[in-house]
Amino acid sequence: MSNKMWGGRFTSKPDPIMEDINASIDFDRHLYRQDVAASKAHAAMLAKKGIITAQDAKRIAHGLDTILSEIEAGKFSFDRALEDIHMNVESRLAALIGPAAGRLHTARSRNDQVATDFRLWLRDAIDALDGRLATYQRALTEKALAHAATVMPGFTHLQPAQPVTFGHHLLAYVEMAARDRGRFADARARLNESPLGSGALAGTSFPIDRAMTARALGFTRPMANSLDAVADRDFVLETLSACAICSVHLSRLAEEIVIWSSPVVGLIRLSDKFTTGSSMMPQKRNPDAAELVRAKTGRVFGALTALMVVMKGLPLAYQKDMQEDKEGAIDALAALLLSLKAMTGMVRDMQPDVARMREAAGEGYATATDLADWLTRTLKLPFREAHHLTGQIVAEAAKANVPLDKLPLPVMQAVEPRITKAVYGVLSVEASVKSRDVYGGTAPKNVRAAAKRWLRRLEG
């Protein structure tokens, strides 16, 4: 016997392989809340427009509430033969309230239904991600404020470049997360249009009120073109794009945590909460949480790439290929949410080795730029000449195997006779970071002010 939900045209059952490839209930069951909400809004609109009776609408709403309770209590039996969440819900509704259930699908198709459900689900998922991103920002900002004056090496090419503060470094990730939140907000605003009422592709001849269902579901407006409404998956692609960029940011910090926590580098320590041991080597403390955050980025990238490949050749309107939009996206958003939780925990847990950071900040002649700036400011030399002279002085320090602030004044004067002992006032790492007080710079007073601004913003 064919599927009773759509089988009027068919006289025999599908092949078991067809059932396996066609069914989506294994992953679209995640959309059950949204499916029930959209169905309730649709039924209420049908009743108001006189398309179904108020009594049938009341039965439908009561039955849908019962189904929602059953699913949330773990008492609902999902049937793969019914393919998807929509048909599972409708079948159970028919068992609960009888023929009135068959009126619910008036003036809609599974095409506009699934597009509506997935927009609602992604909207909720974006809201959850935004909350987690705010918590992550708060953890970074609080740590930054506590270490506004903790000096550490700043790197380019992973080589010591100039001293910065640990707080300044952490605030860079706060800014990245702010952009991530902005991208998610933009994606949310664009996806917040209702496909419901677009039918299979051409709209419907029933006198429905699409604006009513849009308002009931919190959408800003109905989508303006029925073909676009059922065929569009830009809203998934855009959300996954934002997820991918956010994952890049998390992975960059995860990579730094892996590097910093190595005993060879020794800039930070993670506790037992976010590390694991080795089954063979008893001394090991592995930053596995950071490594897994780094790895999960690949899953997010994969979901985005897979869906772009799915969509790239599809003619209008709906194609079954588009069923592949949900499994990867649901997995990717779950991976990102978990990564945010793990990164927030690691940020709160990690403790900088302040002494080691300060020592490392001075390695590699990191205050050489400060010397060149001093020569430019004090001796009125062109910066390029000052840069050249500083390189010669660094070479002398390397030959003597001493840091710049320990190089004897006569050695410097042999390179440039006008250098005075005042130069030592700019050669310490503390003096270096303190001098970087331009807006956006690493000076501790800047970092404190920026951290406090962020905390106020995050509390607002």
Any idea which residue has 């909350």 for tokens? 131
DSSP H helices, 312-428, are 324-349, 354-361, 368-379, 383-400, 409-415
Is residue 151 within a helix (H) or strand (E), and if so which, with residue range? Answer: strand 151-156
- 38, 117 contact by CB (below 8 A): yes
> Which of the residues are catalytic?
157, 278
CB atoms closer than 10 angstroms to residue 244 = 18
Distance between CA atoms of residues 220 and 235, nearest Å = 15
Taking alpha carbons only, the member of 248, 266, 267 closest to residue 343 is 248
CB atoms closer than 10 angstroms to residue 359 = 16
For 228, half-sphere exposure in the C-beta direction (CA atoms, 13 angstrom radius) is 9
Distance between CA atoms of residues 397 and 391, nearest Å = 10
Any idea which residue has 């037992």 for tokens? 272
CB atoms closer than 10 angstroms to residue 314 = 14
